[in-house]
Amino acid sequence: MLSHLNSIFVYADLLQSDMLAAVIQDEASQVTQQPASVDKDALDCRFDTSATVDAPAAKDRIEGIILSDMSQDHRARLAFFYTVFGAVSVVGKAQTASDIIPVKIYCSPSMSGLESHLWSPVGRDLVGVGDNLALALRLINDVMALYGQIGAAEVAARLPRMRARAQSARMAQTAVARGVGLEMTRDLVHHQVQRQPYSGFFAVEEHDVSFQKFDGTHSPVVTRAVFVSSDAAIVLPYDPVTDRVLLVEQFRAGPYIRGDRYPWCLEPIAGLIDAGETPAQAALREAKEEAGLDLKGLELISQTYPSPGSSAEFFHLYLGLADLPASTDLIAGLATETEDIRSHIFTFSELMDHIDLGSFSVGPTVLAGLWLARNRDRLRATG
């Protein structure tokens, strides 16, 4: 068994001291570290986890560090982290400057298929996060917030949404000034403490911050709680030839939990953007999944926060050019997500009448409809 081993060889992501500290919830300097290396060929871990790796050869080595003098909690946290990301453990031998030491090594079951690339659990399947420490730390903190609450397998099932939230943060970092005279940047905010009381399909974060006021002084430290989700792509399908739009109807938990008597909503097609996916790709995918539509093109309407005082949600809203059928009673959606979605087709005139009457309870429905009214003549002339 491997439980008797107190020394663990870490490499790749966890060579960053901040990332290691995020996993073990302690300063990396609190554990003994010793530079070492292992033979990369020895990390083909497609065998029973009780097997022993041969002594490392002198070629093709992976550089890392040996961690020792760790508490039981340190070791349990490392095991949880690596298990979430699909690693298995083996007993191996690490070469130090003066000795060969038996260690526990966590590695991918298909390490040998990765050619020359080190296995990087944080960066795997997430474009742009593996090489960005701040975003990798965001993902690690999301994962480790669940340590001791639920099992590694359940956390692993949540990884796609955690990765998507990290990608949303990456997109936010590339935001440019909106051209309306806004000059205050996040550099004027002093961050004190961050807590994550809930992390699941969505997350809740609490931050203690102090921000610069318009008179140049700083505010007292205040606590702000925010609902955190990955970015969403929203698309209103429009047929410029027949001058009609498609809206979908589905049960929505938000209105239901608020107490609304009518928790089924009429709205544009919408869905969360997956890790490694652009907003436009998500809009095209969701149109196919929710309404069976192959859109011919997308027009960007807006990129906005729907409720910036309490939510980090960010909407990429599009109008999608489509050939709509004469009528539809289509019921669609992914069974794996328990979606039950019905399509409705409205003429442009009907859409405007409903907006004037206040019939729609979902903001993007109104926003997309008003944008269409402003751009309809152009779209019909070119469509």
3-state secondary structure 267-330: ECEEEECCCCCCHHHHHHHHHHHHHCCCCCEEEEEEEECCCCCCECCCEEEEEEECCCCCCCCC
Predicted TM-score of the model (pTM) = 0.79
Contacts of 193 (CB under 8 A, 6+ apart): 207, 208
pLDDT of the residue at 142 = 84
| Helix, strand or coil, per DSSP, at residue 80 | helix
Q: Which tokens go with 202?
A: 């969505």
Please check the confidence at residue 45 and state whether its pLDDT lies above 50. Answer: no
Is 3 a domain residue? no
Confidence band, pLDDT 50/70/90 cuts, at residue 121: low
Say what the pLDDT of residue 38 is: 81
Whether residues 358 and 342 share a domain: the answer is yes
Active site residues: 337
Q: Which residues of 40-74 are buried (b: 16+ CB within 10 A; e: fewer)?
A: bbbbbbeeeeeeebeebeeeebbebbbbeebeeeb
Give every CB contact of residue 143 below 8 A, 6+ residues apart in sequence. Answer: 81, 84, 155, 159, 162
Taking the C-alpha atoms of residue 155 and residue 309, their distance in angstroms, rounded to an integer, is 29
Instruction: Average the pLDDT over each of 13-22, 174-183, 293-302 and give the range with the smallest value.
Output: 174-183
Residue 125 has pLDDT above 60, yes or no: no
Are residues 109 and 130 both part of a single domain? no
Average pLDDT of the segment spanning 298-318:
95
d(CA 261, CA 359): 14
What is the domain-level CATH number for residue 279?
3.90.79.10
Which is more confidently placed, 334 or 35? 35
CATH number at residue 37: 3.10.490
**Overall average pLDDT of the 254-282 stretch:** 93
As a whole number, mean pLDDT of residues 123-134 equals: 50
Q: For residue 26, is it within any domain? A: yes
Q: Which domain holds residue 344?
A: 232-382
* d(C-alpha 52, C-alpha 59), whole Å: 19
Instruction: Please give the average per-residue pLDDT across 200-209, as a whole number.
Output: 88
Domain count of the chain? 3
The verdict on 237 and 223 lying in the same domain is: no
Of residues 32 and 289, more confidently modeled: 289
Q: Per residue in 272-283, pLDDT tens?
A: 999 889 999 999
pLDDT band at 43 (very low <50, low <70, confident <90, very high): low
- Who wins on pLDDT, 334 or 69? 69
Residues 263 and 359 reside in one and the same domain = yes
**Residue 328 near residue 249 (C-beta atoms within 8 A):** no
* 286 CA to centre of own chain: 17
Mean pLDDT calculated for residue range 140-166:
87
Q: How confident is the model at residue 48 (pLDDT cuts 50, 70, 90)?
A: very low
231 alpha-carbon distance from chain centroid: 8
212 DSSP 8-state letter: B
**162 and 240 assigned to the same domain:** no
130 and 97 together in one domain = no
Task: State yes or no: pLDDT of 225 exceeds 90.
Answer: yes
DSSP conformation class of 202:
S
Q: Is the pLDDT of residue 28 over 70?
A: no
Residues 15 and 112 in one domain: yes
- Mean pLDDT across 157-164: 86
